[in-house]
Amino acid sequence: MTGQSTLGEILLDIQAGKSFQTAETPARPDELGVLKVSAVTWAEFRHDEAKALRGAYQPDDSHRVRAGDLLISRANTKEFVGAVVLVDRDYPLRLLSDKTLRLVINENLANKEYLLFALRAPKARKHIEHFATGTSDSMRNISQGVITSIPIDLPPLDEQCRIAARLKIQLEQVGTAWQAAKEQNREAEALRASIYREAFRKAVPVAVPPNLGESPSQWHWHKLSDVARLESGHTPSRLRPDWWGGDVSWISLTEIRALDGQWVEGTQLRTNEAGIANSAARVLPRGTVCYSRTASVGFVAIMGRPMATSQDFANWVCGNALDPEFLMHALIRSRAELRELATGATHKTIYMPTLESFHVCAPEPNEQRLIVKALKKQLVEADTIRSTLIQQEATVSALPQRILAQAFEI
């Protein structure tokens, strides 16, 4: 029969680490390192998540990580505060920080692997998240009092061992399935990249001199500004609320990731005629290709109707020689290479002189449109496959909590 208990009733001690002076550099495998909170999450113990110890110091043995340690994180994000791991072997060069606690268990009452699973189960998580303190989800804390009051279902020791053994097998099977789902998703991503490569004849179709590759047969390099007019954007003053909330859609970095690769019919942020008239922003025509050039470098969309953008975009109004969709997909195909052109310490940016030197490799316009038509059909098929795989991965990811909920029913 399962008995109701609290974690404190089966603990002999809670041993805290120390607030060590650390460098900002990761600890090498052969030097002393202090565990970061990311060392204790829902995966296995991550001994490589450690900062180098600053200065000469001989730590106490109690601060060293040992085989069989049941560790709990007392500070982390809402998702990971109270996360637990069971250490597989000795790590004499890894030290507990003050944010990592060692739970010393009375092993006459409780099995460590059973407790590992019990502390990950919904009942324990609900308790931890309810009592965690902190005003931001970026960092929550739990006290030792919260830890000792975590409710635990405690059957006889031999039954605990049987439950732990069964759960270990089940969760290892889920882990294998999750890895397979991840690999399938990677293959789906690779398929999308392959579709782009084939559509553009293995060329990187947008580049800057002198890095213009050999053009495919019947394709030609053009300076982009010769076949499309380059426009910048602007932001009407935020101090004038009367210039916002109108009927002029305004593309910004806050939305561009969601709009990537699409025709944009409207945006959440909008300005109005007064905002346009009193700023350097311009309403650009339908078909304008908008390329994010700073922070979220390389995301691209096409205006489905006249609208404006922030100054974070380079906008191209295509002439008759260049199809807007061809340019959008050419920029997507060239994304990785173009991001290498961005500079800056805080926010990477492609500056206007570089954008003005962009060249595009393209066939004649009718061929461009045929390429786009075939490419879009293939991308729809690839995205359908990927959506299915993403849902499959999400389903598999939810299985551990379902399994633990069944094993530790409230």
The whole-number pLDDT of residue 108 equals 94
Is residue 400 situated within a structural domain? no
User: Residues 151, 255: one domain?
Assistant: no
Is residue 393 situated within a structural domain? no
**Residue 398: Cβ-neighbour burial (10 angstroms; 0-12, 13-18, 19+):** exposed
User: Residues 264, 139: one domain?
Assistant: no
Of 63-72, 220-229, 338-347, 360-369, the one with minimum mean pLDDT is 338-347
Total domains, the chain: 2
The whole-number pLDDT of residue 362 equals 97
User: What is the span of the domain harbouring residue 90?
Assistant: 3-155
Count of all residues that appear for the chain in the document: 410
Q: What is the CATH number of the domain that holds 48?
A: 3.90.220.20
- Report d(CA 151, CA 121) in Å as an integer: 11
User: Residues 269, 329: one domain?
Assistant: yes
Mean pLDDT of all residues in 124-144: 88
Is residue 409 situated within a structural domain? no
410: pLDDT strictly greater than 70: no
Is residue 323 situated within a structural domain? yes
2: pLDDT strictly greater than 70: no
pLDDT band at 384 (very low <50, low <70, confident <90, very high): very high
User: Residues 311, 232: one domain?
Assistant: yes
Residues forming beta bridges with residue 53, ordered by sequence position? 22
User: Residues 212, 358: one domain?
Assistant: yes
The whole-number pLDDT of residue 1 equals 43
User: Residues 297, 234: one domain?
Assistant: yes
On average, the pLDDT of the chain sits at 92
User: Residues 143, 225: one domain?
Assistant: no
The whole-number pLDDT of residue 199 equals 96
- For residues 246 and 272, the answer to whether their CB atoms sit within 8 Å is yes
pLDDT band at 154 (very low <50, low <70, confident <90, very high): very high
- What pTM does this model have? 0.70
Last residue of a domain, one of 123, 139, 155: 155
Is residue 308 situated within a structural domain? yes
DSSP character string of 137-196: TTEEE--HHHHHT-EEEE--HHHHHHHHHHHHHHHHHHHHHHHHHHHHHHHHHHHHHHHH
Of 18-32, 273-287, 299-313, 360-374, the one with minimum mean pLDDT is 18-32
